[in-house]
Amino acid sequence: MELIMAVAVGILFMIGVYLILSKSLLRIILGTSLLTHGVHLLLLTMAGLKTGAAPVLSDKAEAYVDPLPQALILTSIVISFGVSAFFLVLAYRAHQTLGTDDMDSIKGDKP
Amino acid sequence: MSNLLVFPILIPLCTAVLLIFLKEKVQLQRFISIVSALLNIAIAIVLVSRIRADGIQTLHMGGWAPPYGIVFVGDMFAALLVLTAAVTSFGILLYSFGGIETEREKAYYYVFFNFLFVGVYGSFLTGDIFNLFVFFEVLLISSYALISLGGTRLQLRESLKYLLINIVSSTLFVAAVAYLYAAAGTLNMAHLSQRVAEAGQGGVLGVIAVLFLIVFSIKAGLFLFFWLPESYSAPPSAVRALFGALLTKVGLYAVLRTFTLIFIQDPGVTHTWIAWMAAGAMILGGLGAVAYNDIPRILNYNVVISVGFVAFGLAAANGDSLNGAVFYLLHDMLSKGLLFILGGMVITIGGTDRLKDMGGLIKRYPLIGWMFFTLALAIVGIPPLSGFAGKVLLIRGGLDAGMLTLSLIGLGSSFLVLYSLIKIFRLAFWGDEPEGERSRVNLKGAAAVSAALLVLIILMGTQAEWVYSYVSQAGDVLAHPELYIEAVMKE
């Protein structure tokens, strides 16, 4: 299971980095989103997968899953959701004002 | 346990939420912001004196004793930074009354201003590394809003880059936290320090340390600063002052905290990296400051130099250099805030930010000119002013640690700072005024704010002995992490 997760994280990172390196703004935003999700899976995997029962108190289970990583991932998902939303709005506004979504033609000294 | 620690975060948070409902009432927004900023300064003073008397204060959120819950820790270092940030932000707040257009003020400027400080104070006071990430994000999201507020072409273009670089570095931050949690099994910084000490900092933990170093260096503008000069040039000068004075310092605080508390077992690797990066920041920042001819860029490269200079204190890592780093950090927050305010005033009265199109301003605005000159001397480190004590301590610590080259680079960068600031003074204030009518701008309010900040800087220099007694208590915690660990892990 860890192996599959590792491969999934790797693929997400790969696609994310590839998209971030492209010219179109929309692709870059999608890239950052995928990168963040890769990190969330990484966080889940790093804390250990499937080590016991659900972290709810009961008499039967001997071992419990560590609930902390889930809390961390939840926080991180919320943050990345907010940032992505802001980034999309900013990109839309930039497209309106600058007239392009191509990072190459945005750069330069033009005020 | 001391509930006092939560107030620096709670006050700006409540203020910001309140201000959302007062969108159109700019005067009321200003008044409430002033009250909340003054309240914050008062709380910070109480916090500092409490820590002075009773040692490190901790607060366990929700009653969960460490290492399980989130813990807030106020040591002298954090408290002094909170106090200085509160004072600087008060100055910048007053400056922004005249420096920000009413449209921007109505577009929730003060709301974001206050939310930014939730993040800044939170980062200083938290004792939990994931919580540090959360507060970083709070301050970053507010800064995204502030940097793009107004939506000019330049702002939009630069804020896109700023966003991208910060999202990627935050992602790496979470990845680093994930690896650290896997390796050490805890997130509490004091507990992490113990665990890392038990496990030794070879192999995996060394890599994690370097990953943290990269993340924080991107945020602090330490060597990996290539995004900084352009991004910080885009917003209006009040926002620029906020960013230049405070944002990089939070990254720097994170570097100082993690590498004096958690990753201290193997300074051969990490501190050598920090030393190299400090040297790079000082040299390249200095060259950048000399190379450019417009005020925002010169000032932004000066931010990079000072970040390198504080990091040099961390690299040397002995008592003197850590005290010096704390002292210089406090001086730098105040003086960079004032520098950007004065720079903004020069741009306003000169009507342009290009130095070539300015000149002769000293005839009409002698006070601003001489304040700028005094501040330049303070930043370079001329004795009675505040930069001197920090610089002496840093250089002495550096020489004690046998870092002759770095100390020389530090001294050399001071000359580049001097040259770049005097260049502004010479080209903007001396010489002939360019042709054409210039409208006279009323800057009495801004000048009063700058004068007050300048007095603080002079006092900090002449009363260095007194300031040092506080700074050395802060430096003690950095030099002896066991004090911090004991305070957090007791009970």
DSSP string, B417-471: HHHHHHHHIIIIISSPPPSS--PPP--HHHHHHHHHHHHHHHHHHHTHHHHHHHH
How many structural domains comprise chain B? 1
Per-residue pLDDT at A110 exceeds 60: no
Which of B128, B156, B292 to mutate against chain A (most A CBs within 10 Å)?
A: B156
* CATH entry 1.10.287.3510 includes domain A1-50+65-104: yes
| Residue B414, domain extent | 2-489
Are A111 and B181 an interchain contact pair (Cβ–Cβ within 8 Å)? no
A59: distance to nearest CA of chain B, Å? Answer: 22
Q: Which residue of A has its CA nearest to B145?
A: A86
Burial of B65 (0-12, 13-18, 19+ CB in 10 A): exposed
Mutate to test the interface with B, among A23, A43, A109 (most CBs of B within 10 A): A43
- pLDDT given at position B442: 72
pLDDT of residue A16 exceeding 90: yes
Q: Do A81 and A29 contact (CB within 8 A), yes or no? A: no
Distance CA B306, CA B295 (A): 17
At residue B453, the pLDDT reads 92
Q: pLDDT at position B438, please?
A: 64
Q: Does the pLDDT of residue A109 top 60, yes or no?
A: no
ipTM beyond cut 0.85? yes
For residue B23, the SS3 value is coil
Q: What are phi and psi of B479, to 5 degrees?
A: -75, -30
pTM of the model: 0.93
Question: How many whole angstroms separate alpha carbon A97 and alpha carbon B342?
Answer: 31
Interface of B with A in 177-196 (CB under 8 A): 177-179, 181-182, 187
Shortest Cα–Cα distance, A46 to chain B (Å): 5
Write the DSSP symbol of residue B99.
H
Q: Verify whether the Cβ–Cβ distance B153 to A42 is below 8 Å.
A: no
Q: For residue A67, what is the nearest residue in chain B, using CA coordinates?
A: B68
Q: Which residues of B touch A93 (CB under 8 A)?
A: 148, 151, 156
Question: Taking the mean position of all CA atoms in its chain, how far away is CA B242?
Answer: 9
What kind and span of H or E run contains B59?
Answer: strand B57-60
From B144, B175, B187, residue closest to A86, measured CB to CB? B144
Which chain B positions have a beta carbon within 8 Å of A103's beta carbon?
160
Among residues B303, B198, B311, B192, the alpha carbon closest in space to that of B252 is found at B311
CB pairs under 8 A between A and B: 88
Joined together, the tokens standing for residue B315 give: 């690299």
Round to whole Å and give the CA distance between A85 and B144. Answer: 12
pLDDT in tens, chain B (491 residues): 688 899 999 999 999 999 999 888 889 999 999 999 999 999 999 999 999 998 898 898 888 887 788 899 999 999 999 999 999 999 999 999 887 888 888 889 999 999 999 999 999 999 899 999 999 999 999 999 999 988 888 888 888 889 999 999 999 999 999 999 988 888 999 999 999 988 887 788 989 999 999 999 999 988 788 888 888 888 888 999 999 889 999 999 999 999 999 988 888 888 888 999 999 999 999 999 999 888 889 999 999 999 999 999 999 888 889 999 999 999 999 999 999 999 998 888 888 888 888 878 888 888 889 999 999 999 988 888 888 888 999 999 999 988 899 999 999 999 999 999 999 888 888 877 776 666 667 778 888 889 999 999 999 888 888 999 999 999 989 999 898 998 888 75
Q: Report d(CA B217, CA B343) in Å as an integer.
A: 26
Three-state SS for B60? Answer: strand
